[in-house]
Amino acid sequence: MLEPALYVVATPIGNLQDMTPRAVDVLQRVELIAAEDTRHSARLMAHCGIDTRLVSVHEHNERQRIETIVHQLQSGASVALISDAGTPLISDPGYVVVKGVREAGYKVVPVPGCVAFVAALSAAGLPTDRFAFEGFLPHKSSGRKQQ
C-alpha cells in the first residue's frame, strides 16, 4: 500500500513504451486514478495491465473533484493524477486539484517520466545550456503570430 498522497504521474506522449516502471507501479498500487479523459487513459491502462478505478478530472470539473480526492485521502487511500499525455499541470489540467490537496494538508508526490520538450531539445542541435519553456503555441495562426 502506498502512503496516502496525491501522486502526480507523468504519462507517455505518443509511444506507450515510454511509460516508466515506477509510474506503472504507482498506478497499480493507488486506490484511484484521476484522469483527464478516462476513455483516452483506458488504452494506456490496458497496455500496462493496470485495473485501478479511473475517475475523470479535467478543466471543466476540477473544482468539483477536489472533494472526492480529499475524501479518498482522508480515508487513508492514495490517488494518482494523470493527464492524457505528458505531465499533469504542464500545459494540462491539474493545478486546481494539486492546490486543493495541498491546502487540505496532504502530500503531493511527483512521479517523473519522459519530458517531451526536453527530449525534442536534446535532438534539435541547439545549445542547451539555457532555454525557456513557455507552453504550447495557440492553435490559430493569428495567435501564433502574436505570440
Asked whether residue 118 carries a pLDDT value surpassing 90, the answer given is: no
Residue 15, C-beta contacts closer than 8 angstroms, at least 6 positions apart: none
Tens of pLDDT along 102-114? 999 999 999 999 8
Residue 112, C-beta contacts closer than 8 angstroms, at least 6 positions apart: 10, 20, 87
Going by pLDDT thresholds of 50, 70 and 90, the confidence category of residue 17 is very high
Closest Cα to residue 3, out of 35, 24, 26? 26
Q: What is the pLDDT of residue 48?
A: 97
Range of the domain at 103: 6-146
Q: What is the pLDDT of residue 110?
A: 97
Helix (H) or strand (E) holding 111: strand 108-111
Q: Is residue 110 part of a domain?
A: yes
Going by pLDDT thresholds of 50, 70 and 90, the confidence category of residue 116 is confident
Average pLDDT, the chain: 93
Q: Is residue 1 part of a domain?
A: no
Return the percentage of the chain with pLDDT > 70, whole number: 100
Helix axes 62-74, 95-103, angle to 10 degrees: 40
Residue 20 identity: T
More confident residue, 91 or 27: 27
Residue 76 identity: G
Asked whether residue 65 carries a pLDDT value surpassing 80, the answer given is: yes
More confident residue, 114 or 23: 23
C-alpha to C-alpha distance for 114 and 40, rounded to whole angstroms: 18
Number of domains making up the chain? 1
Asked whether residue 5 carries a pLDDT value surpassing 80, the answer given is: yes
pLDDT (mean) for 67-90:
95
Residue 19, domain CATH: 3.40.1010.10
